Structure 1
Amino acid sequence: MVQDAIRRFIAAEEEFERGTGTEARAADWQFSLTGDEAVQRRVQELSRQTREHFSDRDRFGALSRWRADGRNLSLDDRRQVELYWRDYVGAQEDAATRDEIVRVQTEQAGLFNRFRAELDGRTWTENELNDELATTRDSGRAQQVWEAAKQIGGHAADRARQLVRLTNGAARALGFRDAYERGLTLSEVGEERLFALLDQLEQATDGPYRAAKGELDAQLAERFGIPIASLRPWHYADPFFQRPPRASGPNLDRYFNDKDPIELALRATDSLGLDARKILERSDNWPKPGKNQHAFCTWIAADGSDVRVLNNLDRSHHWTGVLLHELGHALAAEYADRMLPLRLILWPNGIIAETESQTIDRMANDARWLHEAVGIPAPEAESVSRAATEQARLAQLLLARWCLVQAHFERAMHRDPDGDLNTLWWDLVERYQFITRPEGRNESDWAAKIHNAQFPGHYYVYIVGEMAVSQFCAALMREVGGLYGHPAAGEYLTKRLYRLGARWDWEETVQRSTGARLTVDSYVNEWFT
């Protein structure tokens, strides 16, 4: 019987996850901590084995048949067939292509783990460059630091193009236009639906962004002692202008420089009735040589447990917010419904994953948390929170426009990876961020962004996730009164989001957790009106 065959298939897939899948995630974690070349080789081999498993044509054929005629299957069996089919679609390539994709991805990961920029005769970490760029008032120095932050792009660009060529070839062999279209299909995201949301976002943010950037440009011109017309990318205090300059808002870091960000984050999650302590015991949160310089959440066990986060913390408001963000992912995994089949336990795609994480990081600007956890006196905490919320509004404007750059760049990069991406990048930056490109510069600045260099095609999840967060938080406010300090909020998150897992696609998950289909309205109303 078909159902018996499906059950045997699912049992075999779950066994694979408990074996090779678990070993691969553990190796990835170790590699991220050390950048060790021997571990890198092990990661590459396990990645090859994983892609080889999912490339099996016979199993893919069976999934395709079951998917085409699943009328008599249970809801959970039909959903698992759908998700496993998508897992297999993503790995349907010949052995030579598969091995080359794994090699390029692993080498690129090693580059981003180990690379440190050269400036002033020494190496600089990413945090050090960001701090220097954020605090300098010297225009020439800002340019030097900004250019140092882009050095990695020249090392990463060729591999990034090659990765897209390889994945495009595999996708086209299956009838997709390119790997970008295939990636959207695997995530159950309609391209027309996605870019309709992004077009609405562009229209809704155009006026507010122009006004906010005009004010910011005036401040930066005064800061550097130059005309507004002379402002260039390095004056915006962030390598990609994806967040506001620190000097443009309240100096929150002065309240955090003697605080432990881990303790502050625990005060936030405890207030929801959600315990993150075991997660943090398994995690690696402070910088060290050879370690990945970014932040992420992962899990080791096949059922999404043994979850942990990687950070490069310092004692600042920014990194405390990053920690809350990653704990948002981790709590969703920690409190997931493990009575579900393995493939249904965690979120259906990156949009829901970002909804879960970005909901939690909202607490970083909460007045009660600033008072009770950070220790800012109550009247001052209210004032700081209002200023931080206004800064968060600017941050959302910058994020929205930055994500428009990324979404359009990723789609265009997949359509023509051998095109003039250096020029395309600055065309999009000028169009959406209104930043003048550096004169005479022809470098692979786009490849300094790890998302473009290592796993291009998924950046839209951050901004669509923010749309979903606004809609979810509006529902949360109606139902339980807020987030920080509301234990009922933790219960709401658990029942209405975390425990849904991947039983439904992301659109249905948003509908079930908020009571309505996703629109841009809640996001625009919260931040831009």
Structure 2
Amino acid sequence: MEKIVLDFLQNRINKLQEMTSALFKAHWEFSTTGTEELQKQLISLKEKLAHFLSNEEDFQKIKDFLNSKIDNDLIVRQLTVLYNAYLKHQIDSELIQQIVKLEAEIESEFTNFRANYNGKRITNNQILDILQTSTDEIERKSVWLSSKQIGQRVAPLLLKLVKLRNQVANKLGYANYYSLALQTDEINEKELFEILDRLKELTDEPFRKVKEKIDYNLAQKFGISTEKLMPWHYSDPFFQEIPNSDDIDLNKFFKDQDIVELSKKYYAGIGLNVEDILARSDLYEREGKDQHAYCIHIDGEGDIRILCNLRNTEYWMNTLLHELGHGVYDKYLDFNLPFILRQPAHTFLTEAIAMMFGRLSRDPQWLKEIAGASPKLVDCLQDQLRWQEQLALLIFIRWGLVMVYFERELYKNPEQNLNRLWWDLVKELQLLKCPANRENHPDWAAKIHLGTAPVYYHNYILGYLAAYQIEATIKESLQIPHLINEPKIGSFLIEKIFKPGARYHWNTLLEKATGRKLTPDFAVQVFK
């Protein structure tokens, strides 16, 4: 029996590797050029993969194998991962084609979108520049509004896609696509929202207090009362980042630096080489290129690349360290594992590693030892930097809760007034005011994840929780105060986190690595 199962697995997994490699390569080429020809190729490859995973006979065999007595844990794990991949594709070919086409259309809209600001096309980086530096309220409001233009364009497509995804879920016996996606991603919906609800409760009062301080400082900066502060007074279009402060400008630490070289230096110091990843990557902005950032493992054989739109700012230093965190996770997987297990134990765990490294761009010791900042200057800023760590965590958790709660309700009832739902959540969780008439605009659709990475945002929140848990374990087990210039850090991560890949359920891996299942306790200590 075991040989029959192994032969089946080898055959299907080999085909899966071939198709996903072609798909990821096409995705990379499309996001770096944005051409219509590549978009068509991408659609074709997505349809091909979806049709492969929709095979009813294969799916039944996988179920039968899982119901039989197999003593080999590695085989059972492969079957489990394969089962989850097949399950959400058990639909007819016409529905597959409609979904793939809409997903590609939405992705194309975001890839090629440049906001229209005063008659000129401007990039996301230019939008951020204005929101981070301008004191002209009219300019800030205009550029903030321009950043939302993409929402108006993709909202009808996204709503249609949500309804099609729900059709898939309903046919498979699920209430909606959100529940199906969590199930196939090995996340228990009830347990997830128990954690999120607890996080909301734990952060209500700390966030209210820091928001009052933020608003007081912004009101002073713009010469207005706190009651008149609007979303465009903050430093990014969604208030997911720390607003710029006159007291501490982190960009000055990177203004004259080569941040790519800094990233090489840092990772080499902890025993992780990233030069090969960077050599294959596309790092700087240009017309026709996706304006966001991501890491991709093309072939499951070590062809790992990152896409960025770098500038010499703290934001992009953070982003570069973050994406390389994804990269080293993939690079140091055990390539002797079967292809289907040659991936992180869970998406949120690779996010955890990325976040753990990304936030070092604000770490005092990192700024001194890696960025070469003046120790005297950094020591003077020590309290503000620690305060910024608290701010970053609180601001992102509250923003993340907006996304997660909204998306869950989006799939539960796409016919409701989503514009009002969005702003109700923004007002409740981020304590932002809704500008006049914005409840008549689909600002929620301006966030790329809803269309191109559905049911994903909870991974960022869980990633933050796991990041602090893993970091605390490293510091305790290695008896070190900082995640800097210690090759044993890389060795720990390779052996405990990276190398096992997906051979264990994510909570089993986390318990093996840290001695505990996932807990918010370590992250909560930061803002206590």
TM-score, L = length of structure 1: 0.97
Aligned counterparts of 1:367 and 1:404: Cα–Cα separation in 2:
28
| Partner residue, 2:513 | 513
Partner of residue 77, structure 1: 75
Instruction: Kindly state the Cα deviation for residue 161 of structure 1 after the two structures are TM-superposed.
Output: 0.9
Structure 1 residue 248: Cα displacement: 6.0
> Alignment partner of 2:360: what SS?
helix
Residue 329 (structure 1) aligned to one of 321, 326, 329: 326
The question of whether the paired residues in 1 share the 8 Å contact of 2:34 and 2:108 is answered with yes
Question: Structure 1 residue 377 and structure 2 residue 374: aligned?
Answer: yes
What amino acid sits opposite 2:501 in the alignment? Answer: G
Aligned partner of 1:509: which letter? L
Q: Which residue of 2 aligns with 1:409?
A: 406
Other-structure match for 2:216: 218
SS of corresponding position for 2:116: strand
| Residue of structure 2 equivalent to 1:13 | 12
Counterparts of 2:247 and 2:292 in 1: how far apart (Å)? Answer: 24
Give the whole-Å Cα distance in 1 for the aligned partners of 2:483 and 2:362. 12
Distance 1:189 1:223, change over 3 A: same
| Partner-residue secondary structure (3-state), 2:245 | helix
Which of 161, 164, 170 is residue 163 of structure 1 equivalent to?
Answer: 161
Three-state SS of the structure 2 residue aligned to 1:298 is: strand
CA–CA distance in 1 between the matches of 2:405 and 2:17?
38
Aligned-pair CA distance for 1:454: 2.4
Give the equivalent residue in structure 2 for 1:523. Answer: 523
Deviation track 1:350-371 (CA, whole Å, cap 9, x = no partner) reads: 1112112112223222333312
Maintained 8 Å contact 1:336/1:346:
yes
Change (3 A) 1:130 1:424: same
How far apart, in 2, do the equivalents of 1:382 and 1:164 lie?
50
3-state SS in 2 of match to 1:247: coil
Give CA-to-partner distance per residue, 1:358-399, whole Å, 9 cap, x none.
122232223333123322122223334542232121011100
Conserved? CA contact 1:268–1:363, under 8 Å: no
Counterpart amino acid of 2:487?
P
Letter of the 1:307 counterpart? I
Q: Secondary structure at the match of 1:51?
A: helix
Could you tell me how far apart the structure 2 residues matched to 1:123 and 1:16 are? 43
Structure 1 distance, partners of 2:122, 2:412, is 35
Residue 349 of structure 1: aligned partner: 346
1:418 maps onto 2:415 in alignment = yes
State how far apart, in whole Å, the 1-side matches of 2:274 and 2:383 are. Answer: 28
Instruction: Give ranges in structure 1 of 5+ residues lacking alignment.
Output: none
Alignment of 1:22-41 (within 5 A): 22-41=21-40
Matched, 1:493 2:466: no
Cα distance, 1:9 vs structure 2 = 1.8
Alignment of 1:201-216 (within 5 A): 201-216=199-214
Deviation at 1:227, TM superposition (A): 1.6
| Cα 1:419–1:454 shift into 2, 3 Å | farther
Q: Secondary structure of 2:240's partner? A: coil
Q: Are the aligned partners of 2:364 and 2:385 in contact in 1 as well (CA < 8 Å)?
A: no
One of 193, 196, 199 as aligned partner of 2:194? 196
Instruction: Report whether the alignment pairs 1:258 with 2:256.
Output: yes
1:436 maps to 433
Report the alpha carbon displacement of residue 249 of structure 1 after superposing the two structures with TM: 5.5
Amino acid of the structure 2 residue aligned with 1:190: N
Measured against aligned partners, the alpha-carbon deviations of 1:193-221 in whole angstroms (never above 9, x if no partner) come to 11111111111111110110001111111
Maintained 8 Å contact 2:364/2:382: yes
Gaps of 5+ in 2: none
Q: After TM superposition, which residue ranges in structure 1, 4 or more long, deviate above 6 angstroms?
A: none
Q: How far apart are 1:104 and its partner, in Å?
A: 0.4
1:116 Cα offset (Å): 0.4
- Asked if the contact 2:277/2:327 (under 8 Å) is kept, the reply is yes
Measure how far apart 1:318 and its partner are.
Answer: 1.1
* CA drift at 1:347: 0.9
- Match for residue 125 of structure 1? 123
Distance 1:382 1:513 in 2: 33
User: Any conservation in 1 of the 2:343–2:502 contact (CA below 8 Å)?
Assistant: yes
Residues in 2 aligned to 1:402 and 1:314: alpha-carbon distance in whole angstroms: 25
Report % sequence identity.
Answer: 34
Distance 2:463 2:407 in 1: 17
**Deviation digits for residues 229-285 of structure 1 (CA, Å, limit 9, x no counterpart):** 111111112100001112265101112111111011111101101100000000001
SS at match of 1:246: coil
Are positions 1:313 and 2:310 aligned together? yes
3-state SS in 2 of match to 1:497: helix
Aligned partners of 2:441 and 2:454: how far apart in 1?
18
Task: Report the alpha carbon displacement of residue 456 of structure 1 after superposing the two structures with TM.
Answer: 2.4
What code does the residue aligned with 1:312 have? N
CA deviations 1:18-41 (Å, max 9, x no partner) are 422211111110001000110110
Partner of 1:296: 294
Q: Secondary structure at the match of 1:297?
A: strand
Distance in 1, Cα, partners of 2:447 & 2:477: 39
Corresponding residue for residue 456 of structure 2: 458
For residues 239 and 149 of structure 1, the distance between their equivalents in structure 2, rounded to whole angstroms, comes to 7
Give the deviation of 1:291 after TM superposition.
0.4
Q: Deviations over 1:50-70 (max 9, x none)?
A: 00000111101111122233x
Asked if structure 2 preserves the Cα contact closer than 8 Å seen for 1:17 and 1:302, the reply is no
Q: Contact 1:212 / 1:394 at 8 angstroms: preserved in 2?
A: yes
Q: Which range moves more in the overlay, 59-68 or 103-112?
A: 59-68
Q: Tell me the TM-score normalised to structure 2 length.
A: 0.97
Kept in 1: contact 2:269–2:486 (CA 8 A)? yes
Counterpart residue type for residue 463 of structure 2: G
The answer on whether the counterparts of 1:467 and 1:520 sit within 8 Å (CA) in structure 2 is: yes
Give distance in 1, aligned partners of 2:389 and 2:175.
Answer: 38
Partner Cα separation in structure 2 for residue 271 and residue 406 of structure 1: 36
**Inter-partner Cα distance in structure 1 for 2:485 and 2:370:** 11
Match of 2:147 in 1: 149
Contact persistence 1:363–1:484 (CA under 8 A): no
Among candidates 340, 348, 354, match of residue 337 of structure 2? 340
1:401 positional shift: 0.5
What is the alpha-carbon distance in structure 1 between the residues aligned to residue 151 and residue 313 of structure 2? Answer: 27
Q: Alignment RMSD, CA only?
A: 1.3
- Distance in 1 (CA, whole Å) between partners of 2:452 and 2:338 is 30
| Counterpart check, 1:140 vs 2:138 | yes
C-alpha distance in structure 1 between counterparts of 2:512 and 2:359, whole Å: 21
Given the alignment of the two structures, is residue 177 of structure 1 paired with residue 200 of structure 2, yes or no?
no
Aligned length, in residue pairs: 525
